[in-house]
Structure 1
Amino acid sequence: MYVTSVACRADREPECSRFHYEEQLLEKMVRMEFNVERLQQQLDSMSEVVAKLEGIRKQLTDSTRLTEEVKDQVGSVYTRWGRDSCPTGATFIYDGLVAGAHYTYNGSGVNYLCLSKEPIWANGSPTASYVGIIHGSEYETDSANIWTHLHNNEVPCAVCKSSGPTMMIPGKNICYEGWKLEYHGYLMTSYHGHAGSKEFICVDSEATVADGSNSGNQDGALLYFVKAACGALKCPAYDGNKLITCAVCSQTK
């Protein structure tokens, strides 16, 4: 009887083996479903992160574009002394003639102006008896070893707009890092022995004469090169025999 019973069970798959197989299969399916749910959660989480990053990227792009637009709209206005045009990259506003108080005046203005070449008068032509007087400017360069061909000629100017803030650096003909060179040249002002004081301006290194200018001595708001007085200004680095340079720079970042 014992042998027959064993042989009977051996002819077919045991019930316990089939149950075990189905149990393992079910367990794998449950585990797989769990993993799929976990992967879906991870994908959903990654999608949220990607969406947030895309939002941040868009904000940065919009902010950068807005900054550039504001920068383009704001910019900075400066005068290019000695030329009637603007440097490459700058916006031309108008050109004119350099003017200021006569070199013998104790009064009137102390600054040089880029005076319009085409004045427009007020209606009724109002006038007055006691006034300040403005004169055209002339180069006074006959004592120098450069620009002698400009001596006694009138001085042009141009008003320009850069894309960023501007500054004039006296004593350098290059710009600092983060700044673009608009133009460079020589520091000029009135003669130190004259009655009227003037501001220091940066005259372009490739200075020209104004349209219609002549080399006759008409005086006016005169322009002289500038040298350093050694003492409080240490020599070196300064040199009392050399003409002081300058640069007009606009900020780029």
Structure 2
Amino acid sequence: MYANTRKMNILLCIILLFRHILHVFAYSEEPKCYTSCDYQILKTVIQLEQKLNNMELIVQKQQDVINKLSTEHGAVYVRWGRNICPDGSSLVYNGYTAGKHYNKKGSGGDTICLPSNPSWSNYTGKSSPKGLIYGTEIDLKDPSGIFPYSVNEQDMPCVVCRSQRSAILMVPAQNNCFSGWHVEYTGYLMAGMDDRLGSYNHICMDSQPEFIPNGSGNNNQHILYLVQAQCGSLPCPPYVQGRELACVVCSK
């Protein structure tokens, strides 16, 4: 008799558990227990349900973070010769194109974008053996027909931009991006003069450069020149002897 009663109570508890679940989903309220079933079992189910709800909230928050991170990807690049970023890219900082002296062997070999508002840590200001960095000017005798206006001996600004796309590529000897890539800006390949000591890296100077105000003096420090193709190991065609190379900065 006791065994049968126990089985009935278990069966009633199972029925009430299902009833409780149905009430939670349908009415969001806890049903009353009308039998003498083990209330501890029902309490445990309710606690498990609350833990499940908490876990769902945690998972949703994690998914929100993942979604946010996936939409905040991007890459940075320098737009040489301009003060503003192209449409679709945001400003990181603007400044001055700078590098080593055009006719000296030492200091860094790269052209960099110095911020327009420098901040200083410890310094001496003494003229002792150190690396030196200079502002940049273009040497290009007029009329060249390369740029739409005179750029000779003009000092060059620069701007660091952040693209919403995750990959950035500067393509030399191209004036358009490959299929699937987005044009950030087009320009001309520039570097140091071939017969000078101070060699430095190639950069893509914007095809419509701006100038630093009052920067037209012939300072002859970090000087940029157009880069021309030279036949030999470089096959001609497709390249042409002495022809200046275009460039394009692409994102994807």
Whichever residue aligns with residue 200 of structure 2, its letter is: K
Stretch of structure 1 that moved more, 141-150 or 151-160: 141-150
Whichever residue aligns with residue 150 of structure 1, its letter is: V
Q: Which residue of 2 aligns with 1:43?
A: none
> Offset of 1:146 from its aligned partner?
2.9
Q: Which residue of 2 aligns with 1:59?
A: none
Whichever residue aligns with residue 169 of structure 1, its letter is: V
Q: Which residue of 1 aligns with 2:192?
A: 190
Distance in structure 1 (CA, Å) of the matches to 2:238 and 2:70: 37
Whichever residue aligns with residue 180 of structure 1, its letter is: H
Note if contact 2:230-2:242 (Cα within 8 Å) is conserved in structure 1. Answer: no
Q: Which residue of 2 aligns with 1:212?
A: 214
Change (3 A) 1:137 1:249: same
Whichever residue aligns with residue 238 of structure 2, its letter is: A
Distance in structure 1 (CA, Å) of the matches to 2:231 and 2:210: 31
Aligned length: 188
Q: Which residue of 2 aligns with 1:48?
A: none
**Normalising by structure 1, what TM-score?**
0.69
Q: Which residue of 2 aligns with 1:75?
A: 74
Question: 1:70 aligns to what SS in structure 2?
Answer: helix
Question: 2:72 aligns to what SS in structure 1?
Answer: helix
Distance in structure 2 (CA, Å) of the matches to 1:212 and 1:88: 27
Task: Determine which structure has the larger helix proportion and give its number.
Answer: 1
Whichever residue aligns with residue 100 of structure 2, its letter is: A
Distance in structure 1 (CA, Å) of the matches to 2:145 and 2:206: 16
Q: Which residue of 2 aligns with 1:104?
A: 103
Distance in structure 2 (CA, Å) of the matches to 1:119 and 1:113: 14
Question: 2:150 aligns to what SS in structure 1?
Answer: helix
Q: Which residue of 1 aligns with 2:146?
A: 146
Q: Which residue of 2 aligns with 1:168?
A: 170
Distance in structure 2 (CA, Å) of the matches to 1:192 and 1:72: 44
Distance in structure 2 (CA, Å) of the matches to 1:104 and 1:127: 24
Distance in structure 2 (CA, Å) of the matches to 1:87 and 1:229: 32
**1:223 pairs with 2:211:** no
> Offset of 1:116 from its aligned partner?
1.4
Q: CA RMSD in A?
A: 2.3
What is the 5 A alignment of 1:1-253? 66=66, 69-122=68-121, 125-127=123-125, 129-142=128-141, 144-147=144-147, 149-163=150-164, 164-214=166-216, 216-251=217-252
**Normalising by structure 2, what TM-score?**
0.69
Distance in structure 2 (CA, Å) of the matches to 1:85 and 1:211: 15
Q: Can you list the C-alpha shifts for 1:69-100, whole angstroms capped at 9, x where unaligned?
A: 43542311100001111000001111111000
Distance in structure 2 (CA, Å) of the matches to 1:237 and 1:97: 35
Distance in structure 2 (CA, Å) of the matches to 1:248 and 1:218: 29
Distance in structure 1 (CA, Å) of the matches to 2:218 and 2:188: 22
Q: Can you list the C-alpha shifts for 1:19-59, whole angstroms capped at 9, x where unaligned?
A: xxxxxxxxxxxxxxxxxxxxxxxxxxxxxxxxxxxxxxxxx
> Offset of 1:101 from its aligned partner?
0.4
> Offset of 1:232 from its aligned partner?
1.1
Q: Which residue of 2 aligns with 1:13?
A: none
Which structure 2 segments of 5+ residues have no match? 1-61
> Offset of 1:231 from its aligned partner?
1.0
Change (3 A) 1:178 1:142: same
Distance in structure 2 (CA, Å) of the matches to 1:72 and 1:201: 30
Distance in structure 1 (CA, Å) of the matches to 2:136 and 2:225: 11
Q: Can you list the C-alpha shifts for 1:204-242, whole angstroms capped at 9, x where unaligned?
A: 11112123322x210111110011110111111001132
Whichever residue aligns with residue 146 of structure 1, its letter is: I
Q: Which residue of 2 aligns with 1:47?
A: none
Change (3 A) 1:71 1:169: farther
| Structure showing greater Rg | 1
